[in-house]
Amino acid sequence: MFDRIFLVGFNIRSEDRLIKILDESFHSSRIICVKDFKVDSKSPEQVTYQVNKEQNHPLLSHDEEKESNINVEIEDLSIINLPYTYSKEYSNLIETSISRILSIENFTIYESYLSNNNNNDQIISIPTNNNDLAMRIQIANKNLKLSIKNISQSEKIIQYKNLKIDTEKYLVTLEDKKIDLTFKELELLKVLASNPGRVFSRENLLKNIWDYDYYGGTRTVDVHVRRLRRKIEDHKNNFIETIWNVGYKFNEIQSGNINE
């Protein structure tokens, strides 16, 4: 199930209703109210939410959030209430690949945002009921798992400039020379290179490649990234970029996949 569920664009009354429903049916997910958001113009798949910490709801604990700004991860779900007046910002948000459920009030809003949208978005109207929302969240979760599986199966070879990653043979070459990587280094490279331009937090990489209880914590990620860079980067090649205070991303320029 989703690690975090973000509520975007709702008024206080609607937020309160959704929080109660979500707390009843999805205890394992953290529910977070969003005050504002930003879609990175240079990396459109990078979405940042500004958390509404000022709202004191008895079922929420914003103390767990150390930062006011949170990068949306692949395991997150956004429930987005589309405004009646057309918004380019919201249009850009729903064009990203984040997992989402859209809330609309009427058909006019649907036409404004979704008439030319080919995405198979789950749609609700407020007020909603427990069963309908739970069903749509389950469908969104199933679609996410299917999407991850399809990406994993289709991206057999990842090519970036003179770097080639064969995910089936676990073979990495740079300028046609084999690069010896440890299993964890290769898994780290696969996760980053399979999602060029997407920023992964240290915590997210730790969960995907190790587990939360792995000794060494997020410092383990930094150590492995440093070792990986020593093996695949030099003055000519800069594959992995550090996003300060957040994590890492694989540079998306000139990257691509070769399907066999």
Residue 90: pLDDT band by 50, 70, 90 thresholds?
Answer: very high
**The pLDDT of residue 222 is above 50:** yes
Are 161 and 236 in the same domain?
A: yes
What pLDDT does 54 receive? Answer: 62
Residue 154: pLDDT band by 50, 70, 90 thresholds?
Answer: low
The average confidence (pLDDT) of the chain is: 83
Question: Measured in whole angstroms, how far is the alpha carbon of residue 148 from the centre of its chain?
Answer: 12
**The pLDDT of residue 246 is above 50:** yes
Question: Which tokens belong to 51?
Answer: 């958390």
pLDDT digits (tens, 9 = 90+) for 232-245: 998 788 899 998 88
User: Which one is predicted more confidently, 36 or 161?
Assistant: 36
* DSSP3 helix / strand / coil % (the chain, rounded to 5): 35, 25, 40
What pLDDT does 200 receive? Answer: 86
Q: Which domain holds residue 93?
A: 4-152
Domain boundary among 152, 178, 213: 152
As a whole number of angstroms, the longest Cα–Cα distance in the chain is: 60
User: Which one is predicted more confidently, 172 or 58?
Assistant: 172
What pLDDT does 258 receive? Answer: 46
Are 120 and 23 in the same domain?
A: yes
**The pLDDT of residue 259 is above 50:** no
Residue 34: pLDDT band by 50, 70, 90 thresholds?
Answer: very high
User: Which one is predicted more confidently, 53 or 251?
Assistant: 251
- CATH code, domain carrying 58: 3.40.50.2300
Are 143 and 170 in the same domain?
A: no
For residues 118-144, give the mean pLDDT.
88
Within 8 A by CB and 6+ apart from 184, the residues are: 209, 210, 224
Are 146 and 162 in the same domain?
A: no
